[in-house]
Amino acid sequence: MPEFIQGTILDPHDVRRALDGVDTVYHLAAISHLWTANPADFERVNQHGTELMLAAARERGVRNIVHCSTEAILFPYRRGGVTMPQRAEDMPGPYTRSKFMAEQIAREAAADGLRVVIANPTVPIGPGDHNFTEPTRMLELFARKSPPMVLDSMLNLVDVRDVATGLILAGERGRAGERYILGGENVSVRELVRRVGSLCGRSTNVHALPASLALAIGAASEWFEGQVIQRTPRVSIEAVRIALRSIPLNTRKAETELGYLPRPIDGALTDAIAWLTRREADAAEPRVSA
């Protein structure tokens, strides 16, 4: 039977206790949202938490570590027309900076002798996202009403169940210090709106949203929703910046070295929309007390 240990990634004692007798660690503990009221939380949890986990893994003699990173840090950075190595200061915001630094820490640990494999899931979608991460919130927004304008950007969508399989394969077959992109299908945001609209029984006509307007919407959303009414903004500045830097991604390395075979994304979209529909219906159902 699996053993569940409650604790925090920021407590070295909790982390060491969780790693007692463990052979393989899948490090997914992170703040995965693109906005928090206190941006320093990203560094504390995503970056420092990774340092604590790796230190505990070394102390406990863990043989195998899969570090779950993100596709949001993968983009070509150019200066003077020349592609340059990525730096933390080139990242679009505090979330991506923290994930970039965490991946660098994982690479350094691999170079220092720990068997650390890095996996970079793209945009996972599917049913059962009770934490309502950004991809699910995006699908819910598109399912409620097709927006008239969206950024003309690219997403690489992947079935969340394929990500789970890919992480296991990375632990079993991945090479230490290497990065594997766990992705699926490259889809434009406009095409995604069209597909979600079709699943919801409506046709769509979507236009391109100018980048300057998208950034202004992100700033207004962070101010009004994040500061005034104190809830998670529907759009963040960092999310817009990530979208503006988006590029098509491929999974050839993961397919060749890990045997990773992502399925077509239509099934995950269908399952995600069905789950969101059931969730909304359950929330609307009147509660009867005994």
User: Cα(128)–Cα(43) distance, rounded to whole angstroms?
Assistant: 27
Across the range 178-198, mean pLDDT stands at 96
Distances (CA, A) of 216 to 76, 207, 210, 235: 24, 17, 10, 10
Pairwise pLDDT comparison (284 vs 57), residue with the higher score: 57
pLDDT band at 287 (very low <50, low <70, confident <90, very high): low
Residues 6+ apart with CB under 8 A from 244: 151, 153, 211, 214
Is the per-residue pLDDT at 288 higher than 80? no
Is the per-residue pLDDT at 144 higher than 80? yes
Pairwise pLDDT comparison (115 vs 133), residue with the higher score: 115
Across the range 223-250, mean pLDDT stands at 92
How confident is the model at residue 94, as a pLDDT?
97
Q: Which domains does the chain have, with CATH numbers?
A: 12-254+261-271 (3.40.50.720)
pLDDT band at 162 (very low <50, low <70, confident <90, very high): very high
pLDDT band at 234 (very low <50, low <70, confident <90, very high): confident
pLDDT band at 289 (very low <50, low <70, confident <90, very high): low
Across the range 143-155, mean pLDDT stands at 91
pLDDT band at 232 (very low <50, low <70, confident <90, very high): confident
pLDDT band at 28 (very low <50, low <70, confident <90, very high): very high
Six-digit token string for 161? 């169940």
Across the range 214-242, mean pLDDT stands at 93
Residue with tokens 């299908």: 185
Is the per-residue pLDDT at 167 higher than 80? yes
How confident is the model at residue 246, as a pLDDT?
87
Is the per-residue pLDDT at 168 higher than 80? yes
DSSP per-residue string spanning 30-98 = S--SS--SSTHHHIIIIIIHHHHHHHHHHHHT--EEEEE--GGG---EEETTEEE---GGGSSSHHHHH
Is the per-residue pLDDT at 7 higher than 80? yes
pLDDT band at 284 (very low <50, low <70, confident <90, very high): confident
pLDDT band at 282 (very low <50, low <70, confident <90, very high): confident
Is the per-residue pLDDT at 286 higher than 90? no
pLDDT band at 81 (very low <50, low <70, confident <90, very high): low
Strand partners, 159: 125
Q: What is the pTM of this model?
A: 0.92
Is the per-residue pLDDT at 182 higher than 90? yes
